[in-house]
Copies of this chain bind each other. A is one copy, B any other.
Amino acid sequence: MAAYSSYEFMRVTFPSAYVAHLEMNRPSKLNAFSRPVWLEFGRVFRQLSEDADVRVVVLSGAGDRAFTAGLDVSAASSEGPLSGEGGDLDPARKAKALRGHIGEFQGCISEMERCEKPVICALHGVSLGLAIDISCCADVRLAASNTRFAVKEVDIGLAADIGTLARLPRIVGSTSWVKDVCLSARDFSAQEALQVGFVSQVHEDKARTVQAALDMASRLAEKSPVAVQGTKELLNYGRDNGTAAALRYTTIWNSVALQAGDVPSALMSVFSKKTPTFEKL
C-alpha cells in the first residue's frame, strides 16, 4: 500500500478488507481543485482500478467543512486558459488551447467512472460545482444532512463542462428539476437530493455518512468480484447503448464470466450458509 503514499492531494486508507477509502485532501482550500489536484485524481483512480486488493472505493473530502468547493478559482485565474495567457492569439487558436484544457480535465474526472470497482461517494458540507461533476461519476451517492449542493457554474459565467450536464440527467428522473438546478445555480439540500433520487441515503453528519458508505462498501467487498464488477460494467454500458445492444453485450460478457469459480463458490455458500471466499480480480 506504500504505492499510494506518493500523492500530495489524495489520501488512501484501507479500513476493511478490500475496501479503499479515498479522501480528497486539501482541506485548507476546502479541497478545491487546481490542475495538480485533478491530475492526481485521475491517476489514483487508474491505480485503484487495477489494484486487485481493492474491490470497492469510498470517496469523501478531508476535513469538516467541504467535500469540495469545486474549481480553485484563484489558481485558474493565474495560470491556464482562463488566466488570460495567450491573449494575443486569435479566437480559433485560443479555442484549441481551451479544448485541450477542458479535455484533459474531463479525462481525469472520468477516470472515476472508468474505475472497474464500484465507487460510493459520501458527500458532506460544501459540495459545489465540480463536486457535482465528480459525484455524477460515482455509482452510489450518500449525503450528510449538512451538505450544501449547487451546480454553481452558471454563477461564474459558464456552462458546467466537466460532466454534470452530460451525466446528471441520466442519474435523476426529473428533467424539470435537473434544468431548474442547472440553469439557476441555486443551492439544494441533502433532503431535496434524496427526494429526487440524486442520493440514496441521508445521514446526520459527515462521520455517520462516511461510516454508512464504508459499511456498504464492506458488504459489497464480500461478494464475488466477478459478479460485482460485471454488474457495474453492464449497467454503464447499457446507459449509452440501446436495449438490444446491451443484451447482446451482456451475453458476450457473461459467456466468460460464468466460467469463473465464483458461481460454484457462491452457490455452495448459499447451501452451506458459510461466507464464500473469492479469488482476487
B165 contacts A171, CB within 8 Å? no
Is there a chain B Cβ closer than 8 Å to A16's Cβ?
no
A127-146 interface mask toward B, CB cutoff 8 Å, 1 = contact, 0 = none?
Answer: 00000000000111100000
Majority DSSP secondary structure for residues of A touching B: helix
B176 contacts A197, CB within 8 Å? yes
> A199: which of B95, B173, B176, B267 is its contact (CB, 8 Å)?
B176
Complex formed: what's the CA distance from A30 to B196 in Å? 33
A90-134 interface mask toward B, CB cutoff 8 Å, 1 = contact, 0 = none?
Answer: 111111101110110010001000000010000000000000000
Q: State which of A2-10, A18-26, A150-158 sits at the interface with chain B.
A: A150-158
B183 contacts A231, CB within 8 Å? yes
A158-187 interface mask toward B, CB cutoff 8 Å, 1 = contact, 0 = none?
Answer: 111101011101111111111110111100
Residues of B within 8 A of A173 (CB): 172-174, 196-197
Q: How far is the CB of A262 from chain B (nearest CB, A)?
A: 4
A183-195 interface mask toward B, CB cutoff 8 Å, 1 = contact, 0 = none?
Answer: 1110000000000
Is there a chain B Cβ closer than 8 Å to A255's Cβ?
yes
A158 contacts B257, CB within 8 Å? yes
Residues of B within 8 A of A175 (CB): 170-172, 197
Number of interface residues of A (CB under 8 A): 110
Complex formed: what's the CA distance from A226 to B163 in Å? 18
Residue of A160, A173, A240, A279 with highest tally of chain B CB at under 10 A: A173
Complex formed: what's the CA distance from A12 to B163 in Å? 36
B281 contacts A154, CB within 8 Å? no
Residues of B within 8 A of A179 (CB): 118, 139-140, 232, 235
Is there a chain B Cβ closer than 8 Å to A207's Cβ?
no
Is there a chain B Cβ closer than 8 Å to A39's Cβ?
no
Q: A139-B176, A176-B197, A249-B249 are known contacts; what are 12 more A-B pairs with Cβ within 8 Å?
A: A92-B257, A92-B281, A93-B279, A139-B183, A140-B176, A141-B176, A157-B227, A157-B267, A165-B235, A166-B247, A169-B170, A171-B174
A and B contact pairs by CB, cutoff 8 A, 16 listed:
A91-B94, A99-B251, A106-B247, A154-B224, A157-B227, A158-B257, A158-B258, A158-B266, A159-B253, A165-B246, A171-B175, A173-B196, A174-B196, A175-B197, A176-B197, A179-B232
- State the A residues within 8 Å of B (CB): 50, 73, 77, 81-82, 89-96, 98-100, 102-103, 106, 110, 118, 138-141, 153-161, 163, 165-167, 169-180, 182-185, 196-200, 216, 219-220, 223-224, 226-228, 230-235, 237-267, 270, 276, 278-281
